A = this chain, B = another copy of it.
Amino acid sequence: MKSFHPPQRTLMGPGPSDVHPRILEAMSRPTIGHLDPAFVAMMDELKSLLQYAFQTENVMTMPVSAPGSAGMECCFVNLVEPGEKVVVCINGVFGGRMKENVERCGAIPVVVEDAWGSAVDPQKVEDALRAHPDARIVAFVHAETSTGACSDVKTLVEIAHRHDCLTIVDAVTALGGIPLYVGEWQIDAIYSGTQKCLSCTPGLSPVSFSERAVAKIRQRERKVQSWFLDLNLVMGYWGGGKRAYHHTAPINALYALHEALLILQEEGLENAWARHRHHHEALKAGLEAMGLSFVVRESERLPQLNAVRIPDGVDDATVRQRLLSDYQLEIGAGLGEMAGKVWRIGLMGHACNARNVLLCLNALDDVLGSLGAPIESGRAVAAARSVLHPGS
């Protein structure tokens, strides 16, 4: 057996996205101790950079030492007590995962369903809360990674608060890619991932909790069922003042996240959001010129996750294998009920640039054309270019 040397891919799936070289370099710096004063100072910077990315002043803002799924679980196990009713909005895979979490907390999910590919319907949430006045929490996904649909967080949080519910928001694919104001929108608990629009390596989950959420966690009747994710303990390490050992932090992964957030701050959040929007418009022009259609209607579409229907008679896996072998390009398969029916093309973080838009369109055009797929060949790149360089 030998050292593993990965092929050099271009990652345009649902994440991980291409990691910025500065981040890979940061990750390889020498490991130091998790209680080293120099490391603790870095943690403080990291928290403040995360507050910027989330647009919040929440004190309880930090990365969970595990991937986004653990960030989701962190929100649920801390905020949900057994026997409580939780309204869970399902419009894709990750809403379904939220329901699993509610059940495993011994709580009662009240499901609000929308079609895969649609946003969460605020009226349905309002109706559910009227029907279940004893519900305590509303949970939903901002950017559904399985479909590419974007829900209206601000409105959903307002409805939840009017019914005296706390809110748990999945922002795994949202953070850094589309407008998100945790403070202004008064989100109570939110989790994200590092490997999407932050262009960082996978493995951490940034989270943030409002004062109301923290108060509920402090007043719990039962201990949090997870020792590892119990925020009452985690904050002994991540909170201010003297740091107490809870678990050994993933030191080098945190170097990487610090660098990723610094890059985001250097660019500016609004600029990053605009960049995602701009390159999405170019990709969209190209895909539509090719004759491919989007799963999500335009008004609810995410720029960073483009789900398109696989043309009739085209084999999903064959195309993705050809893209990988001929172009070193990864795009995503469909998940759950969309498996085999859609591709998910990511334009996230560092991977969201003109070069990748053109690479992807060119590669798709070539592979689909050579397989005899029913597409309009040879038009996509020009259509994208006209968006990227409107004057020329």
Nearest residue, chain B, Cβ from A1? B45
Q: Which among A20-28, A110-118, A211-219 touches the partner chain? A: A20-28
Contact of B69 with A16 in the complex, beta carbons under 8 Å: no
Contact of B248 with A195 in the complex, beta carbons under 8 Å: yes
Q: Which among A224-232, A289-297, A379-387 touches the partner chain? A: A224-232
The answer, among B3, B103, B201, B262, for a CB contact under 8 Å with A26, is B3
| A236 CB, nearest partner CB in chain B, Å | 13
Copies in the complex: 2
A162 in contact (CB, < 8 A): no
Contact of B227 with A69 in the complex, beta carbons under 8 Å: yes
Contact of A73 with B228 in the complex, beta carbons under 8 Å: yes
The interface size bin for chain A is 35 or more
Contact of A252 with B27 in the complex, beta carbons under 8 Å: yes
Contact of A69 with B228 in the complex, beta carbons under 8 Å: yes
Contact of A30 with B19 in the complex, beta carbons under 8 Å: yes
A265 in contact (CB, < 8 A): yes
Within 8 A of B (CB), among A92-120: 97, 100-101, 103-105
A36 in contact (CB, < 8 A): yes
Contact of A18 with B31 in the complex, beta carbons under 8 Å: yes
Check A201/B250 contact, CB under 8 A, given A9-B36, A33-B11, A103-B223. yes
Contact of B24 with A30 in the complex, beta carbons under 8 Å: yes
C-beta contact mask, A22-47 vs B, less than 8 Å → 1, else 0? Answer: 10111111111110111100100100
Contact of A1 with B262 in the complex, beta carbons under 8 Å: yes
| A241 CB, nearest partner CB in chain B, Å | 15
Measured between alpha carbons, how far is A195 from B248 in the docked complex, in Å? 9
Q: Which among A147-155, A253-261, A276-284, A298-306 touches the partner chain? A: A253-261
- For the complex with contacts A3-B26, A6-B29, 16 further pairs of A-B residues with Cβ separation under 8 Å are A3-B259, A9-B33, A16-B32, A16-B33, A27-B252, A31-B202, A36-B324, A66-B70, A66-B228, A68-B248, A69-B248, A70-B70, A104-B224, A104-B225, A203-B252, A250-B253
* 13 A-B pairs whose Cβ atoms sit less than 8 Å apart in the complex: A1-B45, A6-B255, A11-B33, A13-B33, A18-B31, A27-B27, A31-B202, A66-B228, A73-B226, A104-B226, A202-B251, A203-B251, A203-B252
